[in-house]
Chain A
Amino acid sequence: MPAPPLLALRGVCKRFGVVEVLSDVELEIHAGQVVALLGDNGAGKSTLVKVISGVIPADKGVIEWEGRSVQIRRPHDARELGIATVYQDLALCGNLDVVGNLFLGREIRRFGFLDEMEMERRSRHLLERLTRGVPDLRAPVVSLSSGQRQTVAIARSLLGDPRVLLLDEPTAALGFEQTTEVLDLVDELRDRGMGIVLISHNMGDVKALADRAAVLRLGRNNGFFDVNTASQEQIIASVTGATENVPRQMTHREAGW
């Protein structure tokens, strides 16, 4: 019998007022696999990420962690389980320095006081592994470039040794070299047995990295693909809804949830 998935969502629903953003969504995340979460703007990708990370609790549905049902009502619950998230907007505190952001909410203490030295040491260690251009650890994050901020956000997600990593468009704001850095990192983390959800609009990235792809369309599952065997056209058709035998539906909903 195969091991149960690390994290599984069954029949997850979420509505904001009258708008049903997610309805009956299924998703499985396996250890050592990258799942690409695809969908057009407003398909509900970011909302799904926020449901998993506890920022927006689901209205209905079951979340299973290694086969047993769990509750994720707030970010703390997700963190306890071992789920880490890099949000699209990064969710960093601009006024805090790099070290402060990395350890926010899990500061290392010594005699009850913050152990800045130890936190700085570990931050440097971690960042040196992730990137060649380690930013000034004591500069407020607001003064860093967007690429550096992205690195900080990713580094923060890795601090608690998570087992599931959610990446919401991690390369959207990056240049070529940094994108490669991030993708290499994702590859390495997968090899270490982490379960990864990758949201991306870049089919090249998806083809290169993902093992499976799950497509959302208008808040519903619209197909699961094995990236190695499915053609790019098939996946894109599923994303855009070209496979649907209905007149094209125009959507005016905003992305970004």
Chain B
Amino acid sequence: MVKEMRGKADTTRTEPAGTPRPPRERAVARAVESSVAMFRRKVRAGELGSLPVVLVLATVWIIFQSLNDNFLSPRNLSNLSVDIVGTGLIAVGIVFVLLLGELDLSVGSISGLAAAVFAVLNVNNGVPEWLALVIAVLAGTAAGTVQGFSFARTRVPAFVVTLAGLLTWNGLMLYILGTSGTINLDENGLVAQLTNYYFTDDAVAYGLAAVAAGVVFLVSYQDALRRRSVGMPHRSLQALVVRTGALAVIAFAAAYLLNRFQGLPLALLIFLVMVAGLDILLRRTHYGRQVYALGGGVEAARRASLNVTGVQTAVLAVSGTMAAIGGLFLASRITSVSQSSGSGVLLLNAVAAAVIGGTSLFGGRGTTWSAVLGMLVIQSIASGMAITDTPTAVQFMITGGVLFAAVVIDSVSRRTQEAHGRA
């Protein structure tokens, strides 16, 4: 999907005026042919998009399914879809920072801090849940903004600023938790519901799948009509139907599977809506364009009179906010907050997810959807290992191998792209 959207405008060139319209079948064949040719050209030019991660995901699923029949069961996949949400939301924030060509090491600590703020306010001090929730998220935003501003002003690399943040926010979290150690959340509260609630009515999942496919189709159809009206290259109706059809098949298959267990999880819905929303923010707005431009070259962006300091601050603020939201989902999953919240492999998994999903470490390339795909790979490996009783040690090594492969692919595709330009 990510790749499709990126390639939106360039599949077809303007046809010379006066060419007679070919019959319908030939039009379809030609649409497919030109997409294939275009795809090949892109791969050769090093624009791999999400192709590698999809292949890895398919491989992982096939291997674990062959080892254990329960891997692709509705129950396991449904749990998987909820397990990816917490870390996945954090990874979305990481994608923003990676697009600048920087790294945010503080997201783990910020997620723990936000969870602690919520727990202490709500459970210990009786603040209403919604208010505690808002304050917790804003705490993440504030932490991110402070880091972003320091990074933009001092021009110290973000990973150093956020390394200081990692310690600071972790200390602050321990301070806030005080001696209480572990705080249990209300099992039926708002935050617990975030990952507990399922839309048990089948119609919800199917309806949303239909709405999503319909919206995508209408938007791209409108775009094609507009392009045609001014004689610009545009996709044919057949191509639109094929693409939307593919998206619809995936959406309905997912809805079917989820409905066979407990229905659509609320957490997954929130996750996908946020990812889609932030994807639009990044690729369809002025703000997002500035983020990509900074990843392509800070000096070039500055000379194009972009507000470099503002964008850099905002990006780390987004990252802090997403870390806080992710932290609340993680706390919701275990309905408790403890001194170990936000520690361990959380940070590494979030960064790994973004990179495995296809966001470049060198900045300027990637989309929020890579957080979803990357998290699916990581969580699939974790879940498959658990199902097949493989020790955690092996899980780490395999995830590490996948991450390494992702970095190598990123680096090679980047060089291919540059070499392509010299030809």
Binding site for B on A (CB under 8 A): 53, 55, 74-76, 79, 85, 87, 91-96, 100, 104-105, 107, 109, 112-114, 116-117, 120-121, 124, 136-140, 142-146
Contact = CB atoms under 8 A, between A and B. Distances in A.
Name the 6 nearest CB pairs between A and B, nearest first. Answer: A93-B296, A95-B364, A138-B10, A76-B305, A95-B296, A105-B304
B301 A95 contact: no
Contacts of A87: 303
Given A95-B295, A136-B10, A142-B417, A104 B301 contact: yes
B421 interface: yes
Nearest to B295: A95
Interface residues of B, number: 39
A104 B306 contact: yes
Contacts of A116: 8-9
A162 to B, nearest CB: 13
Contacts of B293: 93, 96, 100, 104
Nearest to A77: B305
A75 B302 contact: yes
Interface string B385-423: 000000000000000000000000000000001101111
Given A113-B284, A137-B10, A143-B45, A105 B305 contact: yes
Contacts of B230: 117, 121
B297 A109 contact: no
Contacts of A112: 285
B235 interface: no
A112 to B, nearest CB: 7
B305 A117 contact: no
Nearest to B418: A142
A146 B423 CA distance: 10
Contacts of B286: 107, 109, 114
A145 B45 CA distance: 13
B303 A96 contact: no
25 contacts: A74-B305, A75-B305, A79-B305, A91-B297, A91-B299, A91-B304, A93-B292, A93-B295, A94-B364, A104-B289, A105-B304, A107-B289, A109-B286, A112-B285, A114-B286, A117-B227, A138-B8, A138-B10, A139-B45, A140-B417, A143-B45, A143-B46, A144-B421, A145-B421, A145-B422
Nearest to B224: A117
A143 B420 contact: yes
Given A75-B302, A95-B364, 19 more contacts: A55-B303, A87-B303, A91-B300, A92-B296, A93-B292, A93-B293, A94-B297, A96-B364, A105-B305, A107-B289, A113-B284, A114-B286, A117-B227, A121-B232, A138-B7, A139-B10, A142-B417, A143-B418, A146-B421
B223 interface: yes
A75 B285 CA distance: 22
A53 B285 contact: no
- Looking at A91, A109, A144, the one whose CB has the most chain B CB atoms below 10 A away is A91
- Looking at B8, B230, B304, the one whose CB has the most chain A CB atoms below 10 A away is B304
B303 to A, nearest CB: 5
Contacts of A53: 303
Contacts of A105: 304-306
Contacts of A104: 289, 293, 301, 304, 306
Contacts of A137: 9-10
A141 to B, nearest CB: 8
A174 to B, nearest CB: 15
Contacts of B9: 116-117, 120, 137-138
B177 to A, nearest CB: 42
B30 interface: no
A114 B297 CA distance: 21
B365 interface: yes
Contacts of A139: 10, 45
Contacts of A55: 302-303
B382 to A, nearest CB: 32
B17 to A, nearest CB: 15
Nearest to A113: B284
Contacts of B306: 104-105
B226 interface: yes
Nearest to B294: A93
Contact of A100 (B7, B292, B418): B292
A117 B223 contact: yes
Contacts of B280: 113
Contacts of B299: 91
